[in-house]
A = this chain, B = another copy of it.
């Protein structure tokens, strides 16, 4: 789906942004982004679990261990993945260059890359881009930085929250890129959530550990998990609030605001699922375990037959039940209920879609709907957000070489 979100001015106190073009994309669009905090920010992050990790992921994981980050350097148009030792050397050289230009410690610069896998990074070009970005940093450069990290994205993805914490209004702003290679537990996806709140490392870690399972770990576009996925949460304290710790009374408020920003970003990624025409919220409840619930939700979210039926606007209960059946979850098919929004299409194992055919077809034809399965086998639940599988997904991905 192409979505045109209104673009409010986004500033986060103490952060500056730049997005420039150094020539990595044939389109000539921005391809280098820089996010810099005036002071070192406490940081928490999460990275792809793919065994094949891009060079910037290896470097970023190492640097995040210290829990303090001052800049994020992103390039799009080239994933710097599967590029061997030279790729890692390139990531280190580029962050060192950024650090010099910014006058900060290079260990506080986290690199990210996104784009085609297995192509050496054209280092000279990116170096020029880094130097230029360092010169062009602006407090109101949020959208330029976001553009600099987009690849196949059809629209920019961002979310903004303001909450009062310790007598100060703090801002939490998130930007994300990602459309294809979206599997549960991260995606070809970069997301940076920036706040001017003062928050301890443990508060950030805890907030992220709650927000991730409720956001980016719930989304599926094509089931392919990328080599570059990165989510960072940075808090620079510019708002001057009393520091939020994992034990503060304000922590739940902070955690909810972070989760809200990340959920909105994750939903935008699914909406932009390559070629997607709709977003389906899958809810599985009544499972014997969370793992079983997740198995059923994942099987449906990944099933090409379910996803093409969603595309076709076909409320085809048979394919849904079939996917639940091969998911590996333990349940009695004769007890299963399936709902499209609030309309039952399977009741106690019997397909009843014919009685509600018109209503069911109207729901599946919409841009967004909820598919709920009640396994009646226990009390565990899981959620997934997924997109449909369309002719345009195949067209696009059989032709993508940049």
- Residues on A facing B (Cβ under 8 Å): 49-53, 79, 81-84, 116-119, 180-181, 183, 222-227, 302-305, 308-309, 311-312, 314, 316-319, 321-326, 329-331, 333-334, 346, 349-351, 353, 389-391, 393-395, 397-401
Contacts and interface: CB of A to CB of B under 8 A. Distances in A.
11 contacts: A81-B322, A118-B351, A119-B351, A223-B304, A224-B326, A225-B325, A309-B397, A312-B399, A312-B400, A389-B394, A391-B398
Contacts of A305: 180-181, 222, 224, 397
A312 B321 CA distance: 32
B304 A224 contact: yes
Contacts of A324: 51-52
B322 A52 contact: yes
A118 B353 contact: yes
Given A183-B326, A303-B224, A321 B394 contact: no
Name, among A334, A349, A351, A394, the residue most crowded by chain B CB atoms within 10 Å (CB to CB).
A394
A223 B298 CA distance: 13
B401 A225 contact: no
Contact of A51 (B224, B316, B333): B333
Contacts of A394: 308, 311, 389-391, 393-394
A82 B393 contact: no
Contacts of A401: 314, 316
Given A82-B349, A311-B398, A322 B393 contact: no
Contacts of A49: 326
A325 B222 contact: no
Given A325-B51, A398-B309, A391 B389 contact: no
A322 B224 contact: yes
Contacts of A51: 324-326, 329-331, 333
Give this chain's copy count. Answer: 2
A304 B222 contact: yes
Contacts of A224: 303-305, 319, 322-323, 326
Contacts of A400: 312, 314
Contacts of A389: 304, 394
Given A321-B82, A326-B183, A333-B51, A304 B349 contact: no
Nearest to A397: B308
Contact of A317 (B118, B183, B334, B391): B118
Contacts of A226: 322
Name, among A308, A322, A334, the residue most crowded by chain B CB atoms within 10 Å (CB to CB).
A322
A390 B119 CA distance: 26
Nearest to A399: B312
A397 to B, nearest CB: 4
Nearest to A317: B118
A52 B325 contact: yes
A118 B82 contact: no
Given A311-B394, A394-B394, A325 B223 contact: no
A84 B117 CA distance: 49
A364 to B, nearest CB: 11
B391 A333 contact: no
B225 A333 contact: no
Q: Which 6 A-B pairs have the closest CB atoms?
A: A117-B318, A312-B398, A52-B325, A308-B397, A118-B351, A118-B318
A333 B48 CA distance: 15
